[in-house]
Amino acid sequence: MTKEREYDLQDRLVDYAVRIIKLSEALPETKAGKHIATQLLRSGTAPAPNYGEAQSAESRADFVHKLKVGLKELRETDIWLKVIVKAQMVKPASLIALLLQETDELIAILFTSVMTARKSKPR
């Protein structure tokens, strides 16, 4: 009998990607809105599959690399979210506050995971 995990980072990243998709759909149909939606979709949905790939990494270096790619995409997404807020593209901007908080938390988790993986001794 397997015990269901209370916390699953992959599920959290997938939920994050879904929230990013919904936000991108809510952006205005302007030239800027379409551009940012495309960039946001690309960067905000990438961490989940990158984390999934890391789970099947061929080496510790490969694992760290894939986590770092996911981390890079989260940092880019953070910037796009801040641009959306400053440009007042979604009203009220407070709707993005929780997404920004989740972005910060995911960045911290992946950063810590990278640092831990780098320090771990090979098995």
The CATH homologous superfamily of the domain defined by 9-119: 23S rRNA-intervening sequence (1.20.1440.60)
Q: What is the pLDDT of residues 49-84, one digit of tens each?
A: 999 999 999 999 999 999 999 999 999 999 999 999
Beta strands in the chain (DSSP E): none
> Average pLDDT, stretch 100-120?
95
Pair of tokens at residue 86: 């400053």
pTM of the model: 0.89
Domain boundaries, the chain: 9-119
Give the Cα separation of 46 and 71 in Å (integer). 10
